[in-house]
A and B are shown apart, each in its own frame.
Chain A
Amino acid sequence: GAVVSQHPSWVICKSGTSVKIECRSLDFQATTMFWYRQFPKQSLMLMATSNEGSKATYEQGVEKDKFLINHASLTLSTLTVTSAHPEDSSFYICSASRSSGTYNEQFFGPGTRLTVL
């Protein structure tokens, strides 16, 4: 159990277009989902925390108007990169949180590779 999927697994788009990435918890309900960005050979950087039915909480330095997050249900969160530019090219990873007794364990999706031309 505790499987998280992301779609698409990779996407190539032209500069100036918008791209939507979906994150789904397949076999559990997740009140909280997280979005991370990972650069090559580098760590994961938390972008935002998404709670079902409320506005996302963005980390310092992350443009909320550029990275739109919607958490419409307990199993789905979406990240939309608006007016994408080459510097937005990266590996985007989501995770979904599930209570495991004393703490909330995060389960990670496989990631989405975004390339902006």
Chain B
Amino acid sequence: GDSVTQMEGPVTLSEEAFLTINCTYTATGYPSLFWYVQYPGEGLQLLLKATKADDKGSNKGFEATYRKETTSFHLEKGSVQVSDSAVYFCALSPYNQGGKLIFGQGTELSVKP
């Protein structure tokens, strides 16, 4: 079945460091891909999305490109801030299945000043 695998955390970085969180997926057809963020004590929020191959999603300095050839959707940010500390979830929505989401295991990011 469809699945998402993302790098294990926790990831600890210093402020202004470069961030990469790897995400790969297995799916039939053409899923949509998402990154969600969960700040401490809050619900999940959509960070960015890509709905077809080679699309780049971007928001708040974060970027991810839908790579069908490598079945990947890695999250990147050039310069992280302390306020980026959160848990990041990669997810896919299978094509034509009513919008259901399949999540990766989540990666906890901690940014130190």
- Contacts A32-B98, A44-B89, A49-B100 known; A110 to B105 CB distance under 8 Å? no
Between A and B, how many residue pairs show CB distances below 8 Å? Answer: 49
- Which residues of A come within 8 Å of B, CB atoms? 4, 32, 34, 41-46, 49, 93, 95, 97, 102-106, 108-111
How many angstroms from the CA of A108 to the CA of B47 in the assembled complex? 13
Is B46 in contact with A4, judged by CB distance below 8 angstroms?
Answer: no
Q: Which of B2-42 contact A (CB under 8 A)?
A: 32, 36, 42
Chain B: residues with Cβ within 8 Å of the partner, total of 20
Pick from B93, B103, B104 the residue with the most CB of A within 10 Å.
B103
Give 8 closest A-B pairs by Cβ, nearest first: A104-B99, A108-B44, A110-B43, A108-B43, A43-B105, A43-B103, A44-B103, A97-B99
Question: A-facing mask of B102-113, CB < 8 A → 1, else 0?
Answer: 111110000000
Check B32–A93 contact: CB distance below 8 A: no
Interface string of B44-69 (1 = CB under 8 A from A): 11100101000000000000000000
Complex contact B102–A42 (CB within 8 A) = no
Given contacts A43-B104, A43-B105, contact A103 B42 (CB under 8 A): no
